[in-house]
Amino acid sequence: MVIDTNKIIAALLRDGIVRRILYYLYAIGAEVIAPREVVDEVLEHIDELSERTGKTREDILSILEEYILPKIKLCDLSEYREYLSSAVKICEKFDVEDAPFVALALKYNCPIWSNDEDLKKEQKIVKVLTTREIINSIEELS
């Protein structure tokens, strides 16, 4: 499953449901992947995250490095480059910045974990699962 940047940020902000789902997926051996660039994107917001959580930058970085990133396989552009032009065409209607996530989903034929309504509704090529849908799936398995 491809995880979007907002889900990674949500896992950083609090030890809540998003982090628990990430841990659960890791524990059952489900691979969670993301474009390597998400790390840079998260780091761009580090001061805002620090302010929102009341934690220091160092604390946020520690959570990211010790608890979040080890559960996610970061993929280099070379892994999904051949799918990027198709992904850009899919995303140009709503947000071309989603293209790396869509490209990964195309390459690995897997869903994207995102609550982005445009990503979910403006294209029908890759499956997009919201946090609620993932929770419902986990509950059905239990």
Q: Closest Cα to residue 114, out of 101, 96, 103, 100?
A: 101
**Per-residue model confidence as pLDDT tens digits over 27-55:** 999 999 999 999 999 999 999 999 999 99
- Model confidence at 138: pLDDT above 90: no
> Helix, strand, or coil here: 4?
coil
Name the residue range of residue 77's domain: 2-135
Please report how the helices 131-141 and 17-27 are oriented relative to each other, as an axis angle in degrees rounded to 10: 50
What is the pLDDT, as a whole number, of residue 140? 85
Residue 109 is assigned to a structural domain of this protein? yes
Number of domains in the chain: 1
Residue at 142 is within a domain: no
Question: Is 141 within the bounds of a domain?
Answer: no
* pLDDT for the residue numbered 70: 97
Sorting pLDDT into bands at 50, 70 and 90, what band is 73?
Answer: very high
The answer on pLDDT for 60 being more than 70 is yes
Residue 19 lies inside a defined structural domain of this protein: yes
Average pLDDT over residues 95-123: 97
Q: Domain containing 113 — which CATH number?
A: 3.40.50.1010
In a domain, 69, yes or no: yes
Secondary structure (DSSP) of 38-101: HHHHHHHTHHHHHHHHT--HHHHHHHIIIIIGGGSEEE-HHHHHHHHHHHHHHHTTT-GGGHHH
